[in-house]
Structure formats: C-alpha cells, structure tokens
Structure 1
Amino acid sequence: MHRAPYAADPAATRGREFPEPNDGARGPRSAFQRDRDRIIHSIAFRRLAGKTQVFIAPDGDHFRVRLTHSLEVAQIGRVAARALGVDEDLTEALCLAHDIGHPPFGHAGETALDTALEPQGGFDHNEHCLRVLMRLESPYCTHRGLNLTWEMLEGIAKHNGPILTPAWALAELDAAFPLELASHASLEAQIAALSDDIAYDNHDIDDGLRAGFLQLDDLLTLDFVADQWRAIERLFPGQDRQLLLRELVRSQIGLMVNDLIETTRGNAADMASAQAVRAAGRPLAAFSPGMAAEERKLKAFLYERLYYHQEQKATAERAHSVIARLFAAYRADPALLSAGWREHLPDEEPARSRHIADFIAGMTDRYAMEQHRRIFGEVPEGLSNV
C-alpha cells in the first residue's frame, strides 16, 4: 500500500507511557496494530454492546448501540485512510475507541454525571475515554491502563481539535504523559472524527426512520437528501420503499466519504510529514465547503427532529434521574458499591466522588437499571422509547 509522507509511522512512534519490550512473542504486529488489538480485547470495548447510541434500551434487535456504531465508524475510517495513504491501523483503532468513555444512556447519562460531579470538576466523555484507556482498564501485571502509543492517545485527546484548557481528567493524564494538547492531531485522528460524523449522520437517519421518529417527507425538505432520493427512484423504479431507503443511506455515505477523501487529499498535498500536519494550524481532513454546508443542515435537522424529539427528551429525563439517583445513593452509602470498587474507594474528595463516577460510567444501560432496581426497588417506566 502507498504510504503518504504525512502518514503516522508505527516504526517511528513516540512510544508508550510505560516502556515495554516488543520481542514479537505475541506475533509480528506493528505498534498501531497492537493498539487496535488491545482495544478490541478490552472489557470497556465489549461493554459498548450494552450502551445507548440514539435510543435508550431499545426493544428491537436492529437498532444501533455504541459497539455497532463504532464498528461502522471504523469501516468508513479505513476506507478513507487507505485512499489517502495514511496508517489504516491507527485510524481503525481511533475509530473503535472513540466512544469508550460514554456512560450508560448516552448524553443523558453524561449530563447527569457532569452535574453530580460539578463540585469535583465535572465529567466529560471524551476525557473519560482517555481515563479508561490510560488508568481504569488495567489487564496487565506491570502497569495501569492499556499502555497505548503516544499517537493513539494524542488522537483520542485531540480528534476534535487542539485543547487549550483541559479539565481535571485530561490535565492529570497529560501531566503524566504529555500529549501536546495545543496542536492539531494526526491526519488519522482527523479522519476518525469525520468518519464518526458520516456514520451517525446517516445511520441515525436509518434508526430514526425505523423507529418512526423521522418521516421521509420531512427528510426530503433537505436538498441534499432529496437529490439522492430522486436519483435512487430513477435508478430503481418500483422497488420496495425499505430497500430504497437503505440505498439512500448508502448513497449519502458514499458521497460524503468521496468528498472527504478528495478535499483532504488537496489540503494535505504539501505536507511533508505527520508533524507538519500537527503544525498546520488548521484541520486538514475536511469536507468541501458545499458538502460541509449540507452536513451542517443535516445535523441540525437530526437535532431538531430526532435527538430533541419530545419522546426522546422525556426518556432522557428518566435516564438522567436513574444516574443521578445512583450517584447520590453510592455517595451516601458506599457499601452499595460492588466489592472491587468499594475496596478501593478513596477517603478524601475529590477522588472519592470521581471514583464513584468512574464506577457508574463503566456501566451498561442494563446494569445501571439493575442497580437502580436493587437499590430503589424499581426502574422508571418508559425508560425505553422504542
């Protein structure tokens, strides 16, 4: 495969927080391949199968969860990385890991933890992702965390751009293993971020239509969607509407990926190294101005019609209550914590509350509901909205 000069090079990695031998005992893998494999084999990654993507605790088996979303992001990311000649393994690892910091119930759970932890510095799922990877997920005898490469951790920290004022979690981790937070991340990380946008913009349409929260006629008020729909109807006259809708989603993903590749290739053409990408002073992975405008309209539509749908908001309020009540219960009576977490509970603040938040953030939706039922004898009705 052609490797572009601006690609991250696993042979030239800046290393890991805790030095370790790479003697090939576990197979001839590059540093970034080992990162990817550590993510896939982690407990935190497996738990994504039980965490909300859009719909909380869905009854149907066909709705996306954080795990399936992450796999779809990784597929898109690898396509773009291969076309642009950057490191596919690093891109894939970043895509697979990007949502590991999400607590149960998606953004409703995050808001509840952020409010509960406000006196102790708050909670942010992006920063918590680094906390999981570097400290909480600890399967090794010799060190804490998964001990991923600098490039992997930098990409998670800065995939949305430079961070000038990190909150407590990221500030602590950066002090231990500096990640140059004020610069842009690698092109691999930038591609992973836009792959995430492409995946959820289009797959959330798919789930929203399936759940009945979105209607095709409303979607067709967006010119970008309407143009694709008309082209698909001409190409497949008389076909089943459900099949046409799936063609629509695939068509839009293809257009957005191709636009990302073409625009990014042009932006990065003069970059002589991965470090030049970081020093460029602007993101180089991007949509064209026209596609960026259409993507913003699509995202605004989804927020108005899907994410802020009245039923979604009502369910999110119930989920918020579950997390808030769990946090309060564990703070009032630490004996309610599971044994391992109870034994390591710090005595002093803010570490004590942050430890409790770590425990809750690692829960799946199902486990959070079970804990609420165990402590309070019930789970709020209507917690699942599909």
Structure 2
Amino acid sequence: MNRAPYAANPEAAPLREFGGPAGGERRGPRTAFQRDRDRIIHSMSFRRLKSKTQVFIAPEGDHYRTRLTHSLEVAQIGRVIARALGLDEDLTEALCLAHDLGHPPFGHAGEAALSDAMERHGGFCHNAQALRTVMRIECPYPAHDGLNLTWDLLEGLAKHNGPVNAPGWALAELDDAFPLQLGTWPSLEAQVAAVADDIAYDNHDIDDGLRAGFLQLDDLLSLDFLADQWRMVEKRYPHAPRERLLREMIRDQIGLMVNDVIEHTRETVKGLRSVAEVREAGRQLAGFSPAMAAQERRLKTFMYERLYYHPEQIAAAERARDVVARLYAAYAQDQTLMPDDWQARLPDSDPQRGRVIADFIAGMSDRFAMQAVREIYGTAPAGLINV
C-alpha cells in the first residue's frame, strides 16, 4: 500500500506496556498492528460480543445485529476509508474491532445499571472498560496481565472520540501505569474508527428497526436526504420488491457517507507530514463534511425519537437494568455466588472490591446474565427471553 506520511507506522518501534518496543517482535510475518488485531480477535472478550445487545436486547431473530456483527461491519467500513487515505489498515481494523469490548450485557441499559451501582466507587464507563478489559482483565499470557497491545492501539481506543480532559478512575488508573497523552487528539486511524462506528450504526440500525417494525418507510422519508436516496433507488430498479429497495437505499447512504469522509479528510490533512502533526493539529481531522455532519445529526435525532426511545425499547431497557442491578446486589452481598477464580480476585474492601464485581458483570453476555439471575433468585427475568 502507499502509506501516507501522516499514517501510523508499525515499523517505528511502537511501544507495549510490557516488554518495550514491539517493532522487532516476530511470530510469523505480522506487523505490530496486525498482532494487535489478532490478539483482539482471539480474545474471549471479543467472542462474547456475539451475545451482547446492539439495539435489541437478547433478540430472538437470527438476523438482528449484535455487538459482534456490528464490530465486524465497523471494521469493514474503517478499512475502506483507511485504504483510501493511505492510513494503516491493520491499526484501523484493530481499533474498530476493539471499540465495544467494554460494553456490559444489554448495551447502554446495562451500562446505566452499572453506573448506578458503582456511583460510590467512581462510576462505570464502557469506553474506559474497553481499556480495562484489554489491559487488565483479559489475561491469556504467562508473563503479564492484559493483551499487551501497542501504545498506538491503546491511545486510539482511549480517545477515539477525542481528547479526554477529565478521565474517570478506570482510565486515569491505566493512564498512570502507561501514559496515553489523553489531552491530545489521537491518530487518524482512531478518528477513522470513530466515524466508521457512526456510519455503521446510523445505517444498520435503520435496517434492524425496519425489520422489527419499529420504523416505517414513510417515517424515514420525512428526512429529505433519505427521500432523495429512495427516489433514485426506485428509478434505478422500478420493478424490484420493496425489501430489496430498502436495503439498496441503506447501501447507497453508507456509500455517500464513506465517500464524504474520504473527500473531506483529504482536504483537512493536506500539508501534514507526520503522525505528530496530526496530534498537534488540535482538532478533529477525519470526519464528515459540515453538510453531511448536519444530515447525520438529523438522522441520529430521528433514530432516538423513533427507535432507541420507542416505548417497547424503553420497557425492555428497564427490565434489563433490573437484571444487572440485581446481579450486582447479589454479588456484593455474597461473594460465593461468583466463580472461584473471580472470588480469588476480590479485594477486601471498596472501591476496589466493587470494581472487580463490575468487571465480572461487564464481561457477561445477555444470556449469561439472565441465566445467572435465574440461578440466584430462582426465577427467570420477565419480559426478555426464555433461557
């Protein structure tokens, strides 16, 4: 590939927390960033994403997205953008695949429950939990804790949404151990991963919402830019079934967003000669043009009103929050309810004790959490799914 001068370079001796520079490592013909990606893919935390909520809590249908399928779709979009801009595709892909590793069961509903339970112990943030997962919880190696990923990967994961000027306890603790320059903008690869996440869930959540019947085509066409796409799709395929036309419209919208990011970012990075200049720019460089950003904000507003805050979604979220809250209360009261290896990790006092309990719950899949509630309390959680 033609590497841009402002791209992250895996041969520039990127650091790992344990073992120093990673550039000279070799186990097969892989770069340091390819090894990061592979460590993430082979982790148990990544595999558990297959049973964690994306939009719909513990969906019974096979075709709804989960955190795993969402992460794969984000990675595909991220690689396309990175390749077009001459960035490191492997680092971009690794960031996309890892960005949701800190999500607890039931997505944002589970996160809200853990935030409430952890209020006296410093709170809970899924983004910081992703760092905690790859740096301290996922421990497959004999010589050290964590996956020992490169500094570039960890830095991008910590601040793919921009600088973090007031980190919570989890991120602050990790930054003290392995400083990540939290106050600066991250690499372009991390910025691309963030916008790829937006593109994926903006459009794929439409697909899932239509399939579930929570969204209707007529409602979507109240957004003029989607109405324009629909008219063009109908014109190209006048005799195609509506279901196929809907999927074509979503593909078109993804293509428009991807092309917009590529064209806009090419303009913002003109003249940059290094990754250091990207971090010193003091602003986001990879992202939507102002016009597309305005459309994307309108789409997000629509999705919150019509899908994420749909009455049935809110009711399911409340039931899911109750599952997580009951689990935390049970484990805090009786540690013997936890597996032996997790009991062995428990510190004697809070806040550290509560944080390890939260680590255990955050790693659960939706189904595992519901099964755990049934085993502890004797009845399955109502209104979700049968386990």
Q: Which residue of 2 aligns with 1:244?
A: 245
**Match for 2:276: what amino acid?**
Q
In structure 1, what is the Cα distance between the partners aligned to 2:45 and 2:271?
39
CA contact (8 A) 2:71 2:97 kept: yes
In structure 2, what is the Cα distance between the partners aligned to 1:60 and 1:263?
38
Structure 1 residue 14: Cα displacement: 3.4
CA contact (8 A) 2:53 2:67 kept: yes
In structure 1, what is the Cα distance between the partners aligned to 2:38 and 2:369?
28
Structure 1 residue 180: Cα displacement: 0.2
Q: Which residue of 1 aligns with 2:193?
A: 192
Structure 1 residues 359-370: aligned runs within 5 Å: 359-370=360-371
| 1:24/1:153 CA distance change after superposition, 3 Å | closer
CA contact (8 A) 1:114 1:123 kept: yes
Q: Which residue of 2 aligns with 1:17?
A: 17
Q: Which residue of 2 aligns with 1:309?
A: 310
Structure 1 residue 24: Cα displacement: 5.8
Q: Which residue of 2 aligns with 1:140?
A: 141
Q: TM-score, length-normalised on structure 2? A: 0.98
| 1:200/1:384 CA distance change after superposition, 3 Å | farther
- Percent identical pairs in the alignment equals 67
Structure 1 residue 64: Cα displacement: 0.2
In structure 2, what is the Cα distance between the partners aligned to 1:119 and 1:79?
43
Structure 1 residues 45-64: aligned runs within 5 Å: 45-64=46-65
| 1:304/1:169 CA distance change after superposition, 3 Å | same
In structure 2, what is the Cα distance between the partners aligned to 1:328 and 1:50?
23
CA contact (8 A) 1:13 1:150 kept: no
Q: Which residue of 2 aligns with 1:373?
A: 374
Larger displacement relative to structure 2 (374-383 or 79-88): 374-383
Q: Which residue of 2 aligns with 1:325?
A: 326
Q: Which residue of 2 aligns with 1:42?
A: 43
SS of residue matched to 1:322: helix
Aligned residues: 385
Structure 1 residue 53: Cα displacement: 0.2
**Match for 1:200: what amino acid?**
Y
CA contact (8 A) 1:110 1:123 kept: yes
Q: Which residue of 1 aligns with 2:130?
A: 129
After superposing on structure 2, the runs of 4+ consecutive aligned residues of structure 1 that deviate more than 3 Å are 20-25
In structure 2, what is the Cα distance between the partners aligned to 1:75 and 1:200?
13
Q: TM-score, length-normalised on structure 1? A: 0.98
Structure 1 residues 184-333: aligned runs within 5 Å: 184-333=185-334
Q: Which residue of 2 aligns with 1:87?
A: 88
In structure 2, what is the Cα distance between the partners aligned to 1:10 and 1:380?
47
CA contact (8 A) 2:33 2:90 kept: yes
In structure 1, what is the Cα distance between the partners aligned to 2:16 and 2:25?
16
Q: Which residue of 2 aligns with 1:8?
A: 8
**Match for 1:8: what amino acid?**
A
In structure 2, what is the Cα distance between the partners aligned to 1:285 and 1:201?
17
**Match for 2:228: what amino acid?**
D
| 1:284/1:23 CA distance change after superposition, 3 Å | closer
Structure 1 residue 26: Cα displacement: 2.0
**Match for 2:9: what amino acid?**
D
CA contact (8 A) 2:82 2:89 kept: yes
1:289-327: CA deviations, max 9, x gaps? 111000000011001100000000000000000000000
In structure 2, what is the Cα distance between the partners aligned to 1:125 and 1:161?
15
In structure 1, what is the Cα distance between the partners aligned to 2:101 and 2:251?
26
Structure 1 gaps of 5+ residues are none
In structure 1, what is the Cα distance between the partners aligned to 2:289 and 2:356?
43
1:97-129: CA deviations, max 9, x gaps? 000000000000000000000000000000000
SS of residue matched to 1:10: coil
**Match for 2:266: what amino acid?**
R
1:25-64: CA deviations, max 9, x gaps? 5201100000000000000000000100000011100000
Structure 1 residue 81: Cα displacement: 0.2
Structure 1 residue 380: Cα displacement: 2.5
Structure 1 residues 130-169: aligned runs within 5 Å: 130-169=131-170
SS of residue matched to 2:367: helix
Structure 2 gaps of 5+ residues are none
CA contact (8 A) 1:55 1:384 kept: no
